[in-house]
């Protein structure tokens, strides 16, 4: 697992969160090294880093729905293991679900052993049924609903709603 694209993705995401680093130079450094020689692994690393960042708001909402405690209080490493695992389960179709869960739990066992059970439980809950996730209701709070569903900052969605209305805001989010 030393040169696993999933482990490297979590490490890059941790550095982005902890050091306010930018994704591109970190990803370029990982890809220019010899850690990942296989083009498939290099592609997976790129997809996991950029995809997880792109869908972070939605992934965090899912974590918040499935974690009984304060999801914001989770350690950075645990959150990023969950985010990358959820990204694979929710948005990729070429990665078998069992592989995504197994790799995420393995990464947790190495870096945050106490959280391995939590990672396993949350990811397996997603496998049991994505329909269990309670999404924000459009009728009650369109800004929140659009921000979560399309993974955009709420302040930006609110600004677009004021300027363009609901339909145009959703179209902008889908295109972005």
User: For the chain, what is the mean pLDDT?
Assistant: 93
> What's the pTM value of the predicted model, to 2 decimals?
0.92
**pLDDT above 80 for 1:** no
DSSP assignment of the chain equals -TT-HHHHHHHHHHHHHHH---HHHHHHHHHHSSS--SHHHHHHHHHHHHHHHHTHHHHHHHHHHH-SS-GGGS-HHHHHHHHHHHHHHHH-SSS-HHHHHHHHHHHHHHH-GGGHHHHHHHHHHHHH-GGG--PPPTTT-HHHHHHHHHT--HHHHHHHHHHHHHHHHHHHHHH-
Residue 61's CATH number: 1.10.940.10
On whether residue 64 sits in a domain, the answer given is yes
Domain total in the chain: 2
At 95 the pLDDT is 87
Please give the average per-residue pLDDT across 46-75, as a whole number.
93
Regarding whether 97 and 27 lie in a shared domain, the answer is yes
pLDDT digits (tens, 9 = 90+) for 8-36: 999 999 999 998 889 999 999 888 876 78
Task: Answer whether residue 137 is part of any domain.
Answer: no
Q: Same domain for 146 and 127?
A: no
């Amino acid at each position: 697992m030393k040169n696993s694209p999933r482990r490297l993705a979590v490490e890059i995401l941790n550095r982005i969160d902890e050091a306010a680093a930018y994704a591109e130079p970190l990803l370029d450094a990982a890809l220019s090294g010899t850690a990942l020689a296989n083009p498939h692994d290099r592609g997976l690393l790129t997809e996991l880093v950029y995809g997880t960042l792109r869908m972070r708001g939605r992934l965090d909402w899912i974590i918040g729905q499935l974690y009984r405690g304060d999801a914001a209080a989770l350690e950075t490493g645990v959150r990023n293991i969950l985010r990358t695992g959820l990204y694979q389960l929710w948005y990729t179709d070429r990665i078998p679900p069992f592989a995504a869960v197994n790799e995420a739990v393995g990464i947790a066992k190495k870096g945050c052993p106490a959280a391995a059970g939590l990672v396993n439980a949350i990811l397996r809950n997603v496998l049991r049924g994505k329909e269990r996730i309670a999404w924000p209701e459009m009728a009650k709070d369109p800004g929140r609903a659009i921000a979560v569903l399309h993974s955009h900052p709420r302040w930006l969605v609110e600004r677009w709603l004021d300027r363009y209305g609901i339909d145009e805001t959703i179209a902008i989010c889908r295109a972005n």
